[in-house]
Structures are given as structure tokens and as C-alpha cells.
Amino acid sequence: MTRLVMKFGGTSVADISRIRHVARHVKREVGLGHEVAVLVSAMSGETNRLIELTRDVAALHDAREYDVVVSTGEQVTTGLLAMALQQEGVQARSWLGWQICVRTDGAHGAARIDGIDTAMIEERMAQGQVAVIAGFQGVGGDQRITTLGRGGTDTSAVAVAAALNADRCDIYTDVDGVYTTDPRIVEKSQKIDRIGYEEMLEMASQGAKVLQTRSVELAMVHDVRLQVLSSYLDPDSLDAEKLPGTLVCSEDEIVEQQVVSGIAYSRDEAKITLRQVPDKPGIAADIFGILADAGFNVDMIVQNITEDGKTTDITFTVGEADAERAVNVLKARAQPGEFGDIQADKNVAKISVVGIGMRSHSGVARTMFQTLAEKGINIQVISTSEIKVSVLIESEYTELAIRALHTAYGLDAD
């Protein structure tokens, strides 16, 4: 018997007709004899609305009460979907996080799941009842409701799939899979049939916003096979043996490994440059220590050798929204003389080429640099990992760079 977890995001449950449509997707899987647990998000826009309400009461509010409020969106959709399933003649019941229970740490608003007790739902699933579970929520050690952070239902779904030892976790969303790059930029981008966890992580964290990054990390750790699918597909005309989405799985399951699987980008970057940094031990430790203590997520870092043996420049990137604050924190906390001038530039974008095949192929970086050079695009910062090459460029060239690279790596559809 196949055990399946299905997850439906906010746009998939945006209104009653969409919820009925979701019920038919679930009914199809139940009809195939599968044991099914379903995770739902709040109706699209609802979580934002709830967050606004908490802000209207007080800009600085009790995070425990924030969770009580913002977790309610999922309570509504679980109940509605359970009803819609019953209408379709499918046995179903709703479960809130605390009822199962989904145990989390106490980090309200950004809680992590510690464990899930599946005994009750397993018993019901074995009797043919679909478990409709509220995503995004859990319960902390103090018995209070917690939420997992925005987009957290993906993580709830993977955690439930891991706890149930499910054969697959199908993530239904408003796109029909993971693409070689953003289809809005490259018309000839193609849907990827299979992608490795690590590649998907690079694609997701680099701005291909299909799955919440944490959910992919969790899937990789627990080896949960994830399938991304469009909820707009007609539930009744699908070949259940071959659902037309993208499977995120371990590398062993990928027969044809591409050298480059996809091109990711992020415009949400800012470059900060420190000049006249003394070339002696301890300065980088100090600067990045200050940034870490202040909670900044630093991504790319470059430092060159000195020309005169005395000072050098350090360049790094942070999220665009953090740029001014990072500059101010460094100005306020660095020791006198640790740098001369400091500048922030938000007018940059990061472009990455990603592929597990890179491990065993050379020349990937060269192709990238050559392609950008041919288009007259200047590279400001470079960073690499085993399966990724990233460059920072002026943001106005983002589309041009992505299109050129997509062609250069042979990713364009015929």
C-alpha cells in the first residue's frame, strides 16, 4: 500500500471552488487505494491579513499571541477541506497541530518541529480516513500554539511525510514544477523531471521560490521524495502512475545527470565594500563577528591580496533589506582603523548556475564567464561551491545574463 502526503498551498485553497477541486485530487489518490494525509495552507492572502491585524494592535506584541492569531488561517481550510471531502463521499477529518500533536521548540513565529506523534492518524488512515492536517502550526513545550515561519506548510508536509514514512510527498502549488529558470524571463525554459535535493536547495535558496528552503533540507535529511505539481491540473484526467510534475529526490534516482540543471537568480542582494582594511590577522574575524552577532546573513565574501602590503578591500553581500543596517552596525561597532571607507550598493543581482554534474565536469565556470563577457556584462564578485557557480552583476543585466546563460548551457527547449 502506498502512503501519500499531499500538500496544497494558499492559491490552491483560495476559495470554495478551489477547495472542491482539491478534494477531487485527494479523492483520486484515495480511489487508488492509497493512505492519504493532506496538509493545507491558509487561503491565499489570509496569513498576511492576520499579520496586519496583530500589527494594528501593537507594533511590538507578544509573539505567543501572534501565533494564536496567525495560525487560524489553516484551521479554516482544514475544516473546509474535510467537509468538501465528505461531500465527495471520502471519509475525512481535520487535525490541528496540537491535536496530533506536532511538537515544536518555543521559537514563536519561527518554530522548529521536534517530533510528530502519528499513532492516532495512522490508525484512522488504516481505516480509510483521510487526515486533513493544518500546516504551519505546532505546539511548544509550554503547550502554547507555535507557527513555523512564512511558507511553513511545506515544512509541515515534509515533516509529516517523514514521520509517516510516506512513499512520497506531493506539493501542489500554482506552478507545474521546477523549471530550468524563471519561465517569466526565459520562454524556452523547461520543466525539470527530476532534480537532486542539493540542486533544489541551491535553486530554492537562490530565488527559485517554489518550495520553502527548510522543507527541502528536511526532505534531504529524511530522504522524503518530494513531487511538485500544479493544483490546476484536472484531477480526473491524470495518469496516476506518471504525474506530470518535478520529482525532488536523491541523486541515485537521477539517471541522466545534467552538468548544469538550472539557472537561479536573486535581486534581493546588496554589496558592501570596506576599503583600506589593514592586512593583518584578526580583522576579518572582527568584522564578520560583528555582523554575525547582529544577526546578519552574509553570503558572498571576497578579499584580495594587498598591493602595498598594508591594506586591502573586503567585499561581501547581505540581503538588500539589511544593507543600511549592516553599514551602520559596522560603523558603530568596529574598532577605529579596521577600515577606511564603507559603501553599500543595492544595484546588484546574483546569478547562479547549478548542477550536480559539475562535480565531474570542468569548464562550467569558463562558459559562464565567457558568456557574460560576450554580452559585455561585468562580473563584480564570484563564489563557487561543488555544485554551483555564482556571480554578482549589475542588476539591470539580470534578464540578459539569464537568457544568455540558459542558451549557453543548452537548456533552451527546442
Summarize as ranges the residues that interact with Mg ion (CB under 5 A).
9, 151
The item of Mg ion, ligand ASP, none sharing an interface with residue 387, based on CB under 5 to 8 Å by kind, is: none
* Minimum distance, C-beta of residue 284 to Mg ion, in the bound complex (Å): 37
The Cα angle at residue 287 between residues 284 and 289, in degrees rounded to 5: 100
The DSSP bridge pattern shows strands 92-95 and 168-173 to be unpaired
Measured from the CB atom, the residue of 173 and 380 that comes closer to ligand ASP is 173
| Segment (H or E) for 238 | none
> Alpha-carbon distance 184 to 186, whole Å?
6
Backbone angles phi, psi at 128, to 5 degrees: 95, 10
Work out what residue 177 binds among Mg ion, ligand ASP, none; the CB cut-off runs from 5 to 8 Å by kind.
Answer: none
- If we measure between CA atoms, which residue out of 179, 202, 204 comes closest to residue 190? 179
Task: Please give the Cα distance from 249 to 199 (Å, whole number).
Answer: 10
Kindly tell me which of 39 and 131 has the beta carbon lying closer to ligand ASP: 39
- Contacted entry of ligand ASP, Mg ion, none for residue 47, CB cut-off 5 to 8 Å set by kind: ligand ASP
Closer to Mg ion by Cβ: residue 140 or 151:
151
Q: Least Å distance between CB 85 and Mg ion?
A: 21
Distance CA 38, CA 57 (A): 33
- Enumerate binding residues for ligand ASP (CB under 6 A): 9-10, 41-42, 47, 73, 135-136, 150-154
The option from Mg ion, ligand ASP, none interacting with 189 (CB < 5 to 8 A, set by class) reads none
Smallest separation, CB 394 to ligand ASP (Å): 32
Q: Assess contact for 94 and 134: CB atoms under 8 A.
A: yes
Q: Are 180 and 262 in contact (CB under 8 A)?
A: yes
> Among ligand ASP, Mg ion, none, what binds residue 213 when CB lies within 5 to 8 Å by partner kind?
none
Closest by CA position to 88, among listed 232, 235, 245, 227: 235
Question: Which is closer to ligand ASP, CB of 25 or CB of 194?
Answer: 25
Which residue has its beta carbon closest to Mg ion?
9
- Taking the least distance from each CB to ligand ASP, the nearer of 13 and 358 is 13
Q: How far is the CB of 147 from ligand ASP (least distance, A)?
A: 8
| Shortest distance (Å) from residue 244 CB to ligand ASP | 23
Q: How far is the CB of 212 from ligand ASP (least distance, A)?
A: 7
Nearest-angstrom CA–CA distance, 200 and 262 = 9
Minimum distance from residue 167 beta carbon to Mg ion (Å): 23
Beta bridge partners of 24: none
| Min dist. Cβ of residue 174 to Mg ion (A) | 9
Which partner in Mg ion, ligand ASP, none is near 152 (CB below 5 to 8 A by kind)?
ligand ASP
Q: Hey, what amino acid is at 76?
A: V
CB of 44 to ligand ASP, least distance (A): 8
> Would you say 9 or 262 has its CB closer to ligand ASP?
9
Nearest to 233, CA basis, from 171, 179, 180: 171
Out of Mg ion, ligand ASP, none, which partner does residue 138 contact, by CB within 5 to 8 A per kind?
none
Task: Provide the β-strand partners of residue 316.
Answer: 272, 301
Q: Which is nearer to ligand ASP, 135 or 245 (CB)?
A: 135
Shortest reach from residue 287's CB to ligand ASP, in Å? 34
List, in sequence order, the alpha helices (H) in 58-145.
Answer: 63-70, 72-87, 97-100, 119-126
CA distance 400 to 414: 20
Choose the contact partner of 196 out of ligand ASP, Mg ion, none; CB within 5 to 8 A by kind: none
- Considering beta carbons, is residue 73 or 355 the nearer one to Mg ion? 73
Residue type, 218: L
**Residue 97's binding partner out of Mg ion, ligand ASP, none, with CB under 5 to 8 Å set by partner kind:** none
Cα separation values, 373 from 300, 368, 397, 405, 408, Å:
21, 9, 12, 11, 12
**Sheet bearing 226-230, strands edge to edge:** 92-95, 130-134, 35-40, 3-8, 168-173, 226-230, 246-249, 194-196
Cell of 261: 540543471
Q: Select from Mg ion, ligand ASP, none the partner in contact with residue 150, using the beta carbon and a kind-dependent cut-off of 5 to 8 Å.
A: ligand ASP
Nearer to Mg ion, 138 or 355 (CB): 138
Nearer to Mg ion by Cβ, of 9 and 262: the residue is 9
